[in-house]
Amino acid sequence: MDDAGAFRRDTDAMRELAAAALLLLALVVGALAPQIWPGQQESGALASGAPVAPRSWLGRDNGAGFVVCGSSDTWTRPGLADQNAHLASDPRYARLRADDSYSDAWMPFRAGASLYDGSDLDARIDLIALTGMWSDPHVAAVAAGCTSKEPQVWLVGYTPATYFANDGSMGELRVVPAPGYRMVVLTGTVRRELVVTSETKLGFFQMPASAITPTPLPLPKPTFAGTPSPEPPSPFPVTDRPVDFTLPSPCQVQISSRHADGLGVSWTVQCGSARANLAISVAATRQGWSHTPGPPIGVGIQTYGKGKLSMQLAYAYSDPVVVVQYSRPSAQGGDTSDLPPLAYLRVPTGLELPSGCVWRDIPAGFTSDGAHKIAFACELLPASEIRGAFHRSLIAQGWRAENGGFGFTNYAKDDLRLMANFVNEKAEPSDTPWMVESLCCFGP
């Protein structure tokens, strides 16, 4: 009995020692888990946890005005079928389709640049899902490591080169082609608007009010007794025709009315047809009026500036056009004479397609700043031969190829600019290529 009791006591001691060892191992593994499996930890946080408190990246940019906080050089965007399948698998996005130009999933899946405020978890999840970045298994950890107080631009297929904010109302991030994606924190001066450009515009964004860098208030001017009050705005000239703007020859003023405050005049103008209406915007741009960022020619309300005058064109496409001029400061902030005059066209101008090719009736979609992607098809040509035929045709019509890259070429002719795209979302030669055309580069 003594030997049996001693055996039981030894057995119980060994069990207690083993249990203690297991408990110690569990504590060690728990402490090391974030270092052993960082990706899985971040992924769980992305899906359901609270975001990390946003930090500031100011002072880390070496004066560049931006910081690349995360990137992947090997990731490629998934195909359209995989993107739609991913959206359909998640109840939050099941109603969306990346191949429907009226869906909220259309543009993010094709955009080269997207804006993210840097801190909102739901917006981050949406952006990862809709851009296709979900297919990168490490994106959760990358995005979580990029939380920021400052706004971010997420680039697909590009990397940042320079950032400028010299304009009082607009900043510009210039980028160059690069594989994969980049998450870029803006650490320089943030203006009310941001444009992202490569060879063409990739994105135009209204910045969050909380992110805009405050403009220092001017020092107060000394006041003296008897200082006269500021002069009121000058009344708009009494005229039956627009000021400093000649309407194209087919267009006639039908009705004019002076604003009640005497600071502006409206004219109803008829040019005879929807296509003829477009000539008003073309004429304005060629006469030195700067087209502010907004809808392409022939759709919606467009704003133009020249010196201290502002002008708006209100299109109903097939109806008369309303031309409004006024001497009040424009909605964009006063003097618009230094705006880059770039106005997108809704219909192709100054070129003919190669033999056997025809224009499609509807746009292939829209760029991030509202330009029509004007589609065409060439049924008699294999998709791989369309780009060569298009190039030869434009060169024969006096266009010159300025630059280009994988799947696209930029052309110029006089005051016209054109970017033609020849690949589909799978980076294969497309049966339905498209182009974006604009008027460009005038001066007053």
pLDDT tens-digit series, residues 118-156: 778 888 999 999 999 999 999 999 998 899 999 999 999
pLDDT tops 70 at residue 5: no
Query: pLDDT, tens digit, for every residue of 216-274?
Result: 666 666 655 555 655 566 677 888 889 889 998 888 888 888 877 778 888 888 888 76
* pLDDT given at position 83: 96
Residues 104 and 206 in one domain: yes
pLDDT, greater one: 10 or 412: 412
Query: Confidence class of residue 72 from pLDDT cuts 50, 70 and 90?
Result: very high
Query: Confidence class of residue 298 from pLDDT cuts 50, 70 and 90?
Result: low
CA distance 201 to 345: 14
The top-scoring range by mean pLDDT among 103-117, 255-269, 301-315 is 103-117
Bridge partners of residue 305, in order along the sequence:
290, 310
Share of the chain above pLDDT 70, in %: 75
Tell me whether residue 351 is in a domain. no
3-state secondary structure of 384: helix
* pLDDT given at position 69: 92
**Are 286 and 347 contacting, i.e. CB atoms less than 8 angstroms apart?**
no
pLDDT tops 70 at residue 362: yes
Average per-residue pLDDT for the chain: 79
Residue 56 CA: distances (Å) to CA of 90, 154, 247: 32, 17, 52
Among 46-50, 124-128, 434-438, the range scoring the smallest mean pLDDT is 46-50
Residues 333 and 369 in one domain: no
Residue 43 CA: distances (Å) to CA of 143, 144, 264: 10, 9, 57
pLDDT, greater one: 77 or 364: 77
Tell me whether residue 48 is in a domain. no
Tell me whether residue 162 is in a domain. yes
pLDDT tops 50 at residue 443: no
Number of domains composing the chain: 3
Polymer length in residues for the chain:
444
Q: What is the number of other CB atoms lying within 10 angstroms of the CB of residue 444?
A: 12
Average pLDDT over residues 63-68: 90
pLDDT tops 80 at residue 89: yes
CA distance 283 to 280: 5
Strand ranges for 198-350 from DSSP E: 201-206, 252-258, 264-270, 290-291, 300-306, 309-315, 321-326, 342-344
Residues 327 and 364 in one domain: no
DSSP label at residue 329: P
Give the domain-ending residue among 339, 372, 402: 339
**Are 113 and 107 contacting, i.e. CB atoms less than 8 angstroms apart?**
no
* pLDDT given at position 40: 38
* pLDDT given at position 229: 59
Residues 267 and 185 in one domain: no
Tell me whether residue 190 is in a domain. yes
* pLDDT given at position 90: 93
* pLDDT given at position 154: 96
* pLDDT given at position 381: 93
Tell me whether residue 26 is in a domain. no
Give the domain-ending residue among 277, 311, 339: 339
CA distance 156 to 283: 36
Residues 414 and 333 in one domain: no
**Beta-strand relationship, 429-440 and 416-423:** antiparallel
**Beta-strand relationship, 290-291 and 264-270:** unpaired
* pLDDT given at position 50: 44
Give the domain-ending residue among 153, 178, 211: 211
Residues 261 and 365 in one domain: no
Residues 199 and 286 in one domain: no
Residues 301 and 371 in one domain: no
% helix, strand, coil for the chain, step of 5:
25, 30, 45
Residues 151 and 85 in one domain: yes
* pLDDT given at position 52: 55
Bridge partners of residue 67, in order along the sequence:
185
DSSP label at residue 104: T
pLDDT tops 60 at residue 426: yes
Residue 30 CA: distances (Å) to CA of 26, 69, 138, 342: 6, 28, 21, 58
* pLDDT given at position 39: 37
pLDDT tops 90 at residue 284: no
Residues 170 and 108 in one domain: yes
CA distance 145 to 147: 6
Tell me whether residue 177 is in a domain. yes
Tell me whether residue 152 is in a domain. yes
Identity of the amino acid at 111: A
pLDDT tops 80 at residue 9: no
DSSP label at residue 287: T
Helix (H) or strand (E) holding 4: helix 2-36
Query: Confidence class of residue 334 from pLDDT cuts 50, 70 and 90?
Result: very low
**Which residues have C-beta within 8 Å of that of residue 24, sequence separation ≥ 6?**
none
pLDDT, greater one: 68 or 249: 68
Tell me whether residue 277 is in a domain. yes
Place of tokens 């309407």: 247
Query: pLDDT, tens digit, for every residue of 170-196?
Result: 889 999 999 999 999 999 999 988 989
Residues 137 and 193 in one domain: yes
Residues 286 and 414 in one domain: no
3-state secondary structure of 443: coil
Write the CATH number for 259. 3.30.310
Q: In this structure, what token pair is assigned to residue 36?
A: 């052993």
pLDDT tops 70 at residue 157: yes
Q: Could you list the residue range(s) of the whole structural domain that residue 258 is in?
A: 252-339
